[in-house]
Amino acid sequence: MVSIPRRIVETAETLAFENPEDAILRGWTIPMARFEGIGYLLLVRRTGSLSGAVGVIFGLFGSAAAVTPRRYLDFGLSLAYENPEDITVKSWVIPVTRVLGITALVLTVVSLRGERDD
């Protein structure tokens, strides 16, 4: 994500959107994707990466994706695209968003519980 964010975003659009050619990225989306990639790299390198405030934030995002995946996705699309209302996501995207949210929430709970036991 850090070195090739545009290629990753374009691939994700092709996989997830019925009409990827209609999606118009906001100017700051690619730089933010690069920043996000750096953030994930830093989290992976750290032990106990889901501890403290980072873990709580990760869990909150996971909760939102798990409970209201359509609203979560709509919010993300509105941040990243100039025309989110013109984008049609494929049928599998909403269920996968929910599963990823549940996964993030479970990882957060397990990580915070393990931290408490230490």
Whole domain around residue 100: which residue ranges? 5-117
Q: Which of 1, 104, 118, 111 is nearest to 52 (CA)?
A: 111
pLDDT tens string for the chain (118 positions)?
A: 567 889 999 999 999 999 999 999 999 999 998 988 887 777 666 655 556 677 788 889 999 999 999 999 999 999 999 999 999 999 999 999 999 999 989 988 887 776 655 5
Distance (Å, whole) CA 23 – CA 3: 22
pLDDT of residue 108: 85
Q: What SS3 string covers 40-80? A: HHHHHHCCCCCCHHHHHHHHHHHHHHHHCHHHHHHHHHHHH
Count how many domains the chain has. 1
